Structure 1
């Protein structure tokens, strides 16, 4: 792959992420119901109203792997509460849910995948992983996610409206954009 192709590919990705964010901003997040790894039923946005919410969604094995790249940074930034807060400790009060989506033929693997993930996931993250089993079309249309090998991330305001959207593997700049948004509110 030559330099021109790499630059063109990067520019295309930047435009796609930018369009995703603009297309979603201000829209209500579509209702989704699922089960956390602690067997709690969650309805988003109904159960998340009153707090900002960060949602990561994946609907293929490759996108799930990229979704997992966000686990530790999101945990360290938004979930972990140090026993002795330091000078630079942030105090975000944010709901966080990572949502692997089981649709089509993958629905049959739902319970087995839940059991496997429960045994391999850090116990501190378990309440923040919500499994969804159902149809995909509604979410693909409402959230404009077409690339099945890419995870999608949304920040919802306290009323359940999308205020930020991004996609792909974790990066410091994506996390920084989310933090800046939350600090503004």
Structure 2
């Protein structure tokens, strides 16, 4: 009936299929998120970035936003100005949980505080961020989170906290694969 050769082939095929499924399950797709740029354009992720790599920076507290600001210049100079890395970049302040200030006032302050050239790269998410916090495992409110998406919208790299050269090297490595 079954020879040793057939049994080995069956086991190998099973391992490949199960291993492939496990690998697929280990590459989560970025959840659908719709927000508006500071210039007023609605953007839906990851649909907007399909076919290209993307770097997304997310913050959902004032402290995290301050740390996210440390990423702007390095990402601009090493990703956005690099014609060999065709990646889209968005910074996403999630302001829905900020109390004591209207969403319009928050958005207005953001616009005033940055060069208008950046407005198309800043997506303001004004709803409650709790679902994204949970789904993206963004457990530390005081830190920003940086995600690299592949052209299929799958998260291939995630880090958190202030900018460091080591983190940036990891991002560039993922974008260069």
TM bin, normalised by shorter chain, reads: 0.7 to 0.9
| Greater displacement, 116-125 / 128-137 | 116-125
Counterpart residue number, 1:129: 122
Greater Rg by CA: 2
Q: Which runs of 4+ in 1 moved over 4 A?
A: none
Counting only pairs closer than 5 Å after superposition, residues 106-117 of structure 1 correspond to structure 2 as 106=99, 109-117=102-110
Secondary structure of the structure 2 residue equivalent to 1:76: helix
- Quick one: which of 139, 142, 147 aligns to 1:146? 139
Deviation at 1:123, TM superposition (A): 2.7
Counterpart residue number, 2:176: 183
Matched, 1:55 2:56: yes
Q: Aligned pairs, how many?
A: 153
TM-score w.r.t. length of structure 1:
0.77
Q: Which runs of 5+ in 2 are unaligned?
A: 1-24
Q: Which runs of 5+ in 1 are unaligned?
A: 1-23, 81-88
Counterpart residue number, 1:42: 43
TM-score w.r.t. length of structure 2:
0.81
Q: CA RMSD in A?
A: 1.8
Deviation at 1:105, TM superposition (A): 5.0
Deviation at 1:104, TM superposition (A): 3.2
